[in-house]
Amino acid sequence: MSSLKYEDRALKIVGTRPLRPDGVDRVTGRARYGADYNLPGQLIGKVLRSPHAHARIKSIDTSLAAALPGVKAIVTRDDFADMPDDFAAAGEMMINYRDVTRNMMAREKVLYDGHPLAAVAAVSDAIACQALKLIRVDYEILPHVIDVVAAMRPDAPLLNEELYTEGVKPRPTRPSNIAKRFAFVRGDVDAGFAQAEVIVEREFNTKPVHQGYIEPQACLASYAEDGQVELWTSTQGHFVIRSQCAKVLQMDVSKLRVTPTEIGGGFGGKNNIYNEPLAIILSKKTHRPVKMVMTREEVFRATGPTSGGNVKVKLGATRDGRITAAVAELNFQAGAFPGSPVGSASMCAFTRYDLENVAVVGNDVVVNRPKVAAYRAPGAPIAAFGVESAIDEMAKKLGMDPIELRLMNAAKEGTQTYYGPKLGKIGYVETLQAARAHPHYSAPLGPNQGRGVATGFWFNVGGETTCALNVNEDGTVALLLGTLEVSGGSYASLAMIVAEELGIALERVRPHSGDTSSLGYNFVTAGSRSVFASGMACVVAARAAIDELRNRVAKIREVPLEAVQWKDGQAQPAAGSAQQFAAMTLAEIAALASKTGGPIAGHAEINAQGAGPGFGAHIVDVEVDRETGAVKVLRYTAVQDVGRAIHPAYVEGQMQGGAAQGIGWALNEEYVYGADGILQNPGFLDYRMPVASDLPRIDTVIVEVPNPRHPYGVRGCGEVPIIAPMAAIANAVSAAIGVRLCEQPLSPPRVLQAIVAAAKG
């Protein structure tokens, strides 16, 4: 456990906008991502995937494929141990190894279009692909279920006959696709609704969307004859990948060394193993390195999208705008195995408001789709779409400004949440006030245009974090980090914190990641934790190094330790100390290190506590084409309390990128399944992510209410900006056309349908 208090002091580097230290490699093509790694003699691995949504596997015959010249090994379910129920934290969500092993390689059944069945290693991609076509699988096709509401019905086809709903008492007597029920209650909602004078009640639906990282999953494994394994993979958490691989392959953690490659986007989707254990076992069987790179189609069919959700919201308020009761039911698709983000969504649903009476129920539901993975503020945007749409409608019914209604009910320091803790110092009110004061909020609108506002909350997280800070012999600093540079700018920010602590120029600090043998365990780089938690670790490590530097100077100058203070990158006589001596710079101390006790370093192994919640408020203007139903986003402003922006340009980048992903989610992106349960749009042509011409400028306002439990006041910033856009856009479209839209994405056919229906009355 570790926590350090916020220090309000003048800073020289933190808060400025220097060039990122790892930038040049990324603009020159020198940076090496997953697919850029190769080893001599490597084989190419490819995966055979289910063409059915749901089927029992009667047999798998690999003999023809194995006989193909150039094929070196084939693995199926028989090459992996079955695993019992065994839960572990991975990313922001829990995993169950029983399911992990079944998701990476189907055992009894295939449960979705794209589910892996076998993997081949061959001398070329072409031969591996040819071999896949020679594998004969005998299936017993089973009825499938794609829709979450349909999957919850008692007569729905069951994905897992052993699955009984957890969280319900008494324990159900029949199996169900509802894996788990979450319930959070505070106060008495019936009494709350009895006090209400105005009620809003709505049902909302969203589609699964993919994280959409541009780099497909890629890994390279090498299994040596003594059982030592090296793995290079594009991941948000090399330590978590190591533990998952070691677990499913039943090997010692120490035998597996994972090196993270540069990662071409993750957004929560690269916290889990897919091809990694297959590549390791193929390498074991062939005694050669095996490289596996997914195609874009495989990424869509078999790696985690986030849930589609069905969300029911009911709000009650008095005429003067006090919310007296709030109820939500969240039904989330988990994909083929339990573990949707419905738990975190349930906790986020109303946590922007100070409410006496709340009841939230969340259902985690399995369906015949790929297992969901975390996606930026997992689950929160889906819940916020419902709740923030309902708040908007309530404001309209009350004749109130929607920001005013939110301010009247805003959570603040000391607000009791319905899921557990009281909120500490937070900046929701400041965020709302900044949004209301922004010129965008009062700018005039034209015909067929509408403005929407919505807000978001995310916990932000800490967790296990390590780093090592080595003072080089010339006084420069090698900073070895355990969280990864997934977010664009986190390494810049962490180097800035170290430079600030040591009082040296940023250019003298070089941040790097190492492999899993170079540092102690780190939790995944996710949940907006990297600059918060690694920032804290960097402060611990830097201060440890400073203590050692002071020690060395006390020794060299023959003064007591208390007489030496660290200031402006130098060991100086402490203020008020009678002991005077010539100050020494970091470089001077480093040069003498071998004579004063050896190398100088600081390190940190912490479980970072004290994460401070983040809040955002987004304002959007849209124009609706009444003939086509197309929605054009005209103007966008994102306001967010980040605690403290270490590198404001990259904080803005997080806010802009999150908003853009949310816009795609709201307007275009969706998984489209046919009646046969087959994904119809596994490619960027038909799964339409926003391009530059789809988007306006995304203005940003950084609010800074420092997190009191972080030395630099950091809260985290990556998750919050994706939470509000879906609701903000829905509210804007509703304002433009006068109809409340409750199904996303708000694609042209859906919007046109609403316009036509409204015209018919």
Partner 1 sequence: MAKHHVSATVNGDPIEFLCETGQTLLEVLRDVLNLTGTKEGCGTGDCGACSIMLDGRLVNSCLVLAVEAQGKAIETIEGMAVGQELHLLQRKFLEHAALQCGICTPGMLIAAKSLLERNPDPTESEVRYGLAGNLCRCTGYHKIVDAVLDAAREMREGH
DSSP calls for 285-303: HHTS-EEEE--HHHHHHHS
On whether the CB atoms of residues 335 and 306 are closer than 8 A, the answer is no
- Cβ at position 660, least distance to partner 1 in Å: 3
212 is a contact residue toward partner 1 (CB under 8 A): yes
| Minimum CB distance to partner 1 smaller for 213 or for 337 | 213
Question: Reading across the β-sheet that carries 564-567, which strands appear in turn?
Answer: 564-567, 570-573, 584-585
Of 1, 10, 27, 575, the one binding partner 1 (CB under 8 A) is 27
| Minimum CB distance to partner 1 smaller for 28 or for 59 | 28
DSSP letter at 605 equals E
**Interface region with partner 1, contact rule CB under 8 A, candidates 28-36, 113-121, 356-364, 428-436:** 28-36
Of 24, 94, 561, 758, the one binding partner 1 (CB under 8 A) is 24
Please count the CA atoms within 13 angstroms of the CA of 254 that sit on its side-chain side.
1
Of 255, 296, 626, 750, the one binding partner 1 (CB under 8 A) is 296
Run of H or E residues at 26: helix 24-27
Q: Which of residues 40-79 bind partner 1 (CB under 8 A)?
A: none
Q: Which of residues 454-473 bind partner 1 (CB under 8 A)?
A: none
Task: Give the span between the Cα atoms of 574 and 554, in whole angstroms.
Answer: 11
| Minimum CB distance to partner 1 smaller for 421 or for 683 | 683
Question: Which residues, other chains included, contact 756 with Cβ-Cβ below 8 Å and sequence gap of 6+?
Answer: none
Tokens 């003939």 correspond to: 627
Question: Which residues, other chains included, contact 675 with Cβ-Cβ below 8 Å and sequence gap of 6+?
Answer: none
| Minimum CB distance to partner 1 smaller for 19 or for 94 | 19
Q: How far is CA 136 from CA 57, 111, 294, in A?
A: 11, 18, 22
216 is a contact residue toward partner 1 (CB under 8 A): yes
How many residues touch partner 1 under the rule CB under 8 A: the total is 57
Q: Minimal CA–CA distance to 616: which of 398, 455, 415, 485?
A: 455
Of 5, 7, 12, 19, the one binding partner 1 (CB under 8 A) is 19
304 is a contact residue toward partner 1 (CB under 8 A): no
Tell me the sheet residues that pair with 221: 231, 290
Q: Minimal CA–CA distance to 222: which of 292, 143, 128, 273?
A: 292
3-state helix, strand, coil in the chain (%, to 5): 30, 25, 45
Q: Which of residues 684-703 bind partner 1 (CB under 8 A)?
A: 684-685, 689-695, 697-698
| Minimum CB distance to partner 1 smaller for 570 or for 661 | 661
Task: Give the span between the Cα atoms of 734 and 315, in whole angstroms.
Answer: 18
**Interface region with partner 1, contact rule CB under 8 A, candidates 129-137, 200-208, 258-266, 470-478:** 258-266
23 is a contact residue toward partner 1 (CB under 8 A): yes
On whether the CB atoms of residues 481 and 494 are closer than 8 A, the answer is yes
| Minimum CB distance to partner 1 smaller for 263 or for 559 | 263
250 is a contact residue toward partner 1 (CB under 8 A): no
Task: Give the span between the Cα atoms of 353 and 383, in whole angstroms.
Answer: 14
Of 8, 9, 10, 28, the one binding partner 1 (CB under 8 A) is 28
Q: Which of residues 262-281 bind partner 1 (CB under 8 A)?
A: 262-267
Q: Which of residues 661-680 bind partner 1 (CB under 8 A)?
A: 661
Please count the CA atoms within 13 angstroms of the CA of 76 that sit on its side-chain side.
19
Task: Give the span between the Cα atoms of 102 and 371, in whole angstroms.
Answer: 11
- Cβ at position 655, least distance to partner 1 in Å: 8
381 is a contact residue toward partner 1 (CB under 8 A): no
Of 139, 523, 650, 665, the one binding partner 1 (CB under 8 A) is 650
Helix (H/G/I), strand (E/B), else coil: 659: helix
623 is a contact residue toward partner 1 (CB under 8 A): no
- Cβ at position 567, least distance to partner 1 in Å: 31
Q: Minimal CA–CA distance to 613: which of 540, 703, 488, 487?
A: 703
On whether the CB atoms of residues 309 and 382 are closer than 8 A, the answer is yes
Is beta strand 87-90 parallel, antiparallel or unpaired with respect to 358-366?
A: unpaired
Of 5, 7, 12, 30, the one binding partner 1 (CB under 8 A) is 30
Of 41, 683, 738, 749, the one binding partner 1 (CB under 8 A) is 683
| Minimum CB distance to partner 1 smaller for 211 or for 470 | 211
- Cβ at position 379, least distance to partner 1 in Å: 19
- Cβ at position 40, least distance to partner 1 in Å: 13
- Cβ at position 287, least distance to partner 1 in Å: 22
Question: Which residues, other chains included, contact 91 with Cβ-Cβ below 8 Å and sequence gap of 6+?
Answer: 236, 237, 240, 268, 271, 272, 373, 374, 378, 524, 526, 527
Helix (H/G/I), strand (E/B), else coil: 182: strand
Helix 490-502 × helix 535-557 angle, to 10°: 30
Which backbone phi and psi does 248 adopt, to 5 degrees?
Answer: -70, -25
**Interface region with partner 1, contact rule CB under 8 A, candidates 149-157, 206-214, 404-412, 545-553:** 206-214
| Minimum CB distance to partner 1 smaller for 395 or for 698 | 698
**Interface region with partner 1, contact rule CB under 8 A, candidates 398-406, 515-523, 540-548, 656-664:** 656-664
Peptide bond into 745 cis (omega under 30): yes
- Cβ at position 436, least distance to partner 1 in Å: 23
Q: Which of residues 472-511 bind partner 1 (CB under 8 A)?
A: 486-489
- Cβ at position 450, least distance to partner 1 in Å: 21
- Cβ at position 478, least distance to partner 1 in Å: 22
Task: Give the span between the Cα atoms of 660 and 647, in whole angstroms.
Answer: 20
| Minimum CB distance to partner 1 smaller for 173 or for 693 | 693
- Cβ at position 649, least distance to partner 1 in Å: 4
660 is a contact residue toward partner 1 (CB under 8 A): yes
**Interface region with partner 1, contact rule CB under 8 A, candidates 15-23, 104-112, 391-399, 605-613:** 15-23
Tell me the sheet residues that pair with 43: 290
- Cβ at position 378, least distance to partner 1 in Å: 17
Of 32, 56, 153, 567, the one binding partner 1 (CB under 8 A) is 32
On whether the CB atoms of residues 622 and 449 are closer than 8 A, the answer is yes
Name the residues that contact partner 1, by CB under 8 A.
17, 19-20, 23-33, 35-36, 126, 211-216, 262-267, 295-296, 486-489, 649-650, 652-653, 656-661, 683-685, 689-695, 697-698
